[in-house]
């Protein structure tokens, strides 16, 4: 059974994961409006992945005889400056999520809830991948600069991302 403090923290994480899904969906919509449909698809898949992360936490709370308490989700930003701005914000967001996951892991350790620590290991590994993926796109966009043909090629490459 989950402690009350861990149950609350994981419920907060469910909200945060759903916010991440909402944020990436907003980014996808923006990218569509500037005709970067490959990048928009990449963000839409990222949104779906974040929603699945929320459900992993959701199911975990229930498996541990806890109570899921859904919370209001903050409205994400709707305006961005560019494709680079979108991916830089995505990278910063993933870094923030990494910190939250680490704090959850620390809390589970303090409470000697080893099962929760084991479950969180998956998320810790996932966050390494999330930061790497977003960081690589940021680096590629910076290398491209103002070269429309290269940006077009990168957008097509991002659009080839497979659903996980």
What are the domain boundaries of the chain? 4-71+79-159
Instruction: For residue 36, count CB atoms less than 10 angstroms from its CB and return exposed for 0-12, middle for 13-18, buried for 19 or more.
Output: buried
Q: In the chain, what is the straight-line distance between the N-terminal and C-terminal CA atoms, in Å? A: 30
Report whether 162 contacts 143 (CB < 8 A).
no
- Which residue, 28, 12, 129, is CA-closest to 66? 12
CATH class of this structure's domain 4-71+79-159: mainly alpha
Residue ranges in 2-113 assigned as alpha helix (H): 4-33, 37-63, 83-110
35-59 tens-digit pLDDT: 999 999 999 999 999 999 999 999 9
pLDDT at 76 over 90: yes
Distance CA 27, CA 79 (A): 8
Whether pLDDT at 146 is above 90: no
């Amino acid at each position: 059974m989950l402690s009350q403090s861990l149950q609350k923290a994981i419920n907060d994480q469910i909200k945060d994961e759903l916010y991440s899904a909402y944020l990436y969906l907003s980014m996808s919509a923006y990218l569509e409006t500037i005709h970067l449909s490959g990048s928009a698809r990449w963000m839409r898949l990222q949104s779906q992945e974040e929603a699945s992360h929320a459900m992993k936490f959701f199911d975990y709370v229930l498996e541990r005889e806890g109570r899921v308490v859904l919370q209001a989700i903050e409205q994400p930003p709707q305006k961005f400056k560019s494709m680079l701005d979108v991916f830089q914000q995505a990278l910063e967001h993933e870094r923030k999520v990494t910190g939250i996951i680490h704090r959850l892991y620390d809390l589970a350790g303090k409470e000697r809830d080893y099962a929760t620590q084991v479950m969180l290991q998956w998320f810790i590994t996932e966050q390494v991948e999330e930061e790497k993926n977003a960081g690589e796109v940021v680096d590629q966009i910076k290398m491209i600069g103002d070269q429309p043909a290269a940006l077009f090629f990168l957008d097509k490459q991002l659009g080839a991302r497979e659903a996980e």
